[in-house]
Structure 1
């Protein structure tokens, strides 16, 4: 099989693409490469530096399936330039789905987000709850989901709503909770926690990328699936990090009250089994840092890097 992976040079893409290649698939990566490209050369890999908004330039000849990862990732980045966010994360999705249908492509896997639910009081957030997105990022994900579901009669549409992803990737992100707190401990010996009691769902980067492989193996598993297997408070994450790296934990007040627990029973019922936990992400990041394979690089912070290089003031 041959897959187009949009956003394949991103945080998840750098872990997913090698897994696809190891399976013997051909992979075409489409990415703006705003944050760099660290994918090693491979005879089955073609990296195209391009913009998903330029739909006429996207070549779908010979493509069997699309894994659509590209978007303006996370709330702060999405709010930087709402027009750009809607163009990249919603309009481009609609155009790509339409072009895929016209080319007869039967597989479309979409990376949505667990943040589409907004603030929830329910103890377990399931796929059946009403969506109340509160940011441009959340709203574009919700709209893209609904657009894609309208193509369900023409192709296998598989939508994943991941929890916050954690763990090491060659294109690291140090602006997500587990990774950020671990790096703070490693570089400063001090962890700053805002609030701390908020519970958030997490998923290891190996598990979320394995979810996409699982969906490839099961085209009959269509529709929408939560993917988050460890609901843990921010303070508990800090304590977990401090267990492995001695660090002072400083708790400050927070104006972010979001606290919720994602339920992923629907995905588990399809036969998927997660293999790793948040603690694995922490220890793996520590190992990479101590081995000199991971540093606190500017392009590992999406918001600051976009402000500096993509959308300079």
Structure 2
């Protein structure tokens, strides 16, 4: 099978590429290496800035499965530099959909985000919940979903939007786990925590994410559909700090930087737990809990990458 992975030099994309080439598939990666530089020598890499419309002229194998993972993944910076995020998260998605249309891909899988829901009163949050993002990252992901649905409906491209919880594990590029570890390496006696530490969210280990992708490839039936991919439990920021401190053998003083509403930054969703009933009906379930995902990710970063099956 032929696969195209945009953002394949990044965190999730790199793990997906490893998995696909491990199954002896032909894999083409399209990336500008701005948010990742991972390379698997068994894949073919095209260094291209997908914001450039010349990407339309690319030729990829007809009937390929295309995973669109390229984006600026930092929710926090989307509130600081929205123009940068719009170009990478909306314009790029449109350009990649045009690439898919012109090359007759068989399936287009778009990496969306739990942030499209914003702060909802439906916990766990099903796919049918109202979509009211509170960050630029979230609204741009929602626009991306709408573009994928439109291309599916108008041009007949089979499309799936995957609304991801917090994905973590080896080689993770950003997020609270890596942030805490880096802070504690600089100062083992103090840990700065953004927000009040009571934010509670769902975390999923990278291998569980990849297995969910592959289930959707094989079993999603509609011309267009959206699926949550997350865990069945959640964990607070304070609990994450405790796990990391245990793994590092440290007992630092906590210093909270709270905006007054418990958020770590503008646009921070304080409570997130996705309802994964829909994808579970297809035969998928997470192998690791949120706490296990956090602990294994911490070990991957502290002691060196050691992917779990």
The answer to whether the superposition gives a TM-score over 0.5 is: yes
Secondary structure of the structure 2 residue equivalent to 1:27:
strand
- Consecutive aligned runs of 4 or more in structure 1 exceeding 6 Å deviation: none
Partner of 2:281: 269
Change in CA separation of 1:254 and 1:52 when aligned onto 2, cut-off 3 Å = same
Partner of 2:299: 286
- Residue correspondences, number: 288
1:254 pairs, out of 244, 258, 261, with: 258
CA distance in 2, matches of 1:259, 1:284: 21
1:113-262 alignment, distance < 5 Å = 113-153=113-153, 154-169=156-171, 172-173=172-173, 175-185=174-184, 188-189=187-188, 190-193=190-193, 194-220=195-221, 222-229=224-231, 230-247=233-250, 248-255=252-259, 256-257=262-263, 258-262=270-274
- Judge which range, 71-80 or 202-211, deviates more: 71-80
Pairwise CA distance, 1:56: 2.7
Pairwise CA distance, 1:280: 4.4
CA distance in 1, matches of 2:280, 2:163: 14
Pairwise CA distance, 1:187: 5.5
CA contact (8 A) 2:200 2:272 kept: yes
Change in CA separation of 1:203 and 1:280 when aligned onto 2, cut-off 3 Å = closer
Partner of 1:30: 30
CA contact (8 A) 2:203 2:234 kept: yes
Q: Which runs of 5+ in 2 are unaligned?
A: 264-269
Partner of 1:60: 59
TM-score (norm 2): 0.84
CA contact (8 A) 1:113 1:162 kept: yes
Change in CA separation of 1:95 and 1:288 when aligned onto 2, cut-off 3 Å = closer
Pairwise CA distance, 1:129: 1.1
CA distance in 2, matches of 1:242, 1:3: 40
Partner of 1:82: 82
CA contact (8 A) 1:227 1:264 kept: yes
Change in CA separation of 1:199 and 1:285 when aligned onto 2, cut-off 3 Å = closer
Change in CA separation of 1:268 and 1:216 when aligned onto 2, cut-off 3 Å = same
CA distance in 2, matches of 1:228, 1:128: 16
CA contact (8 A) 2:166 2:202 kept: yes
CA contact (8 A) 1:33 1:49 kept: yes
Pairwise CA distance, 1:55: 3.4
CA contact (8 A) 2:61 2:103 kept: no
CA distance in 2, matches of 1:264, 1:125: 8
TM-score (norm 1): 0.83
- Judge which range, 76-85 or 131-140, deviates more: 76-85
CA distance in 2, matches of 1:283, 1:92: 33
Pairwise CA distance, 1:6: 0.6
CA distance in 2, matches of 1:242, 1:53: 41
Change in CA separation of 1:219 and 1:283 when aligned onto 2, cut-off 3 Å = closer
Change in CA separation of 1:184 and 1:276 when aligned onto 2, cut-off 3 Å = farther
